Structure formats: structure tokens, C-alpha cells
Amino acid sequence: MGSDTEVHISRDGINALVVPEWAEQFDPDWFDPDYWGERAVPVSSGGRGSAWFIERSPEHWVLRHYRRGGLVGKLIRDRYLYAGEVRVRAFVEFRLLIQLGVLGLPVPKPVAVMYQRKGVFYSSAIIIERLQGVRPLGDVALSLDATRWREIGQVIRQFHDAGVYHADLNCFNILVGETSTHLIDFDKGELRSRTPYRTSWKGNTLDRLKRSLNKAYGEELEREWQFFLEGYNASTNV
């Protein structure tokens, strides 16, 4: 990535990447939800207590701190082993979002990311634009008709055909509007080779999505899932 897509800033003990349009206004305090006061509202769906909606009129942003899940997360909540700046998870996700935007895929635009060293560990955070008029699929799945389920399937196929691996494709990382579908949270995601659509990792991500829907709704969405697969399998021209 070059200076036309990112500006590297080191200030107040943090290292950050900022999109050029926000570089001059950038403030390291942006990554602290307390700095925003009442303008920072915790994300209720899928946020794990580590994400906030930020109102910076006229902009609407999402601030997310990187947190570990599972058993490890209970012991080391927000620290990761530092193995060089190029492998910092926030930086990787920021640059991936830039690439996906260039490919024309429906993802939010990144604003800024940072990491802060703490010995051999680091903590990090990301700020992205908040998409308007959308809700997580996990919140609205029962209200969608067959056409929308097919459209969602087509969008997921579009990502897969572009070789996009999403490490946590669950129903709360798919945001749906009246006619739009976006994917969010590309932590640990990557671009892979454009292999045939039945490649195992693609099937595994679909299985993960199906499990998340079953966890949220039991078996209520079996019919809707078939509509999703119809859209996914129908065409690459989406």
C-alpha cells in the first residue's frame, strides 16, 4: 500500500494508519471510547463489549477494540504477541478493507487503525465508517423474503469468487438494508487465489454461517437457507 491509500503516524506512544482524507485531523484519542463521552454508544449485536458507534457529526463511525475470544480471551483479553508491524492484525484488516474497496466489494470504508506496544505484546483498535440503514442479518433474518435471501447468497458468492476469505462469517457480520448487503469484521481475513467455488475453505465459511443462524433461530430458517443457496449457486455475475 502506498501513500495514496494510507498515512503512517506515530504519536503519543501509538502507531497508526489513517486514510489520507483524515490524516490532518487525526487524534490518537479517537481510539478511546471515553474521549467521545455520550457520543460513543456500545454496539449491542455481535459487539462482545468491544465496539462502539461513534457520532462525529456529520460522520458516523464504528470503533472496535481487538479482543481475544474463547478460553485464551479469559486470560489475555486484548494483548497479542508482537511479530512485526506488517503482522499487526489491525494493520492487516485496514489494508484488506482498502483492497476490497478497490475491487468494488460491499464493505465499510476504513478510517484509521492503531497499535500500541506493551513489551513483547501489543493492543490495537480500528475505526471504520458506520453503514446507514442496515441491520445485522442475525437480527432480521425472519423478516426477509426469498428474494432478499437469494440476493444475500449472491453477494457472498461475489466475495468468494474474488478469493476473499472471511474468518468469521456469521449472521452478525452480514449487514442488510432494504436492497443492500455488506460484510463487516475482516479480522484474520485475507485474499486467496480465485479457485473453484467448491474449494473447502469456502464451504467451511458457509457452514459457519449456517451454524450461527441455527444458534440464533434453531431450525426456523431451513427454507430461507435454501433460498440463500439458490442465490449463491445461481451465478457469478452479481
Break the chain into its structural domains and give their ranges: 7-129, 135-233
CATH 3.30.200 for the 7-129 domain, yes or no: yes
* CA dihedral (183, 188, 191, 193) positive or negative: negative
Question: How confident is the model at residue 73, as a pLDDT?
Answer: 42
Residue 155 has pLDDT above 80, yes or no: yes
* Average pLDDT score over residue span 87-112: 96
Residue 171 has pLDDT above 60, yes or no: yes
* Average pLDDT score over residue span 79-104: 94
Percent of the chain whose predicted confidence (pLDDT) is above 70: 89
Residue 3 has pLDDT above 80, yes or no: no
Among residues 27, 168, 185, 207, the one annotated as catalytic is: 168
Residue 66: Cβ-neighbour burial (10 angstroms; 0-12, 13-18, 19+): buried
**Residue 74: pLDDT band with limits 50, 70, 90:** very low
* Average pLDDT score over residue span 21-47: 90
Pairing of strands 80-81, 59-65: unpaired
Of 1-15, 21-35, 41-55, 167-181, which gets the smallest average pLDDT?
Answer: 41-55
Residue 38 has pLDDT above 80, yes or no: yes
CATH class of domain segment(s) 135-233: mainly alpha
- Rounded Cα distance between 233 and 59, Å, is 37
Residue 66 has pLDDT above 70, yes or no: yes
Average pLDDT over the chain reads: 90
* Average pLDDT score over residue span 120-139: 96
168 is catalytic: yes
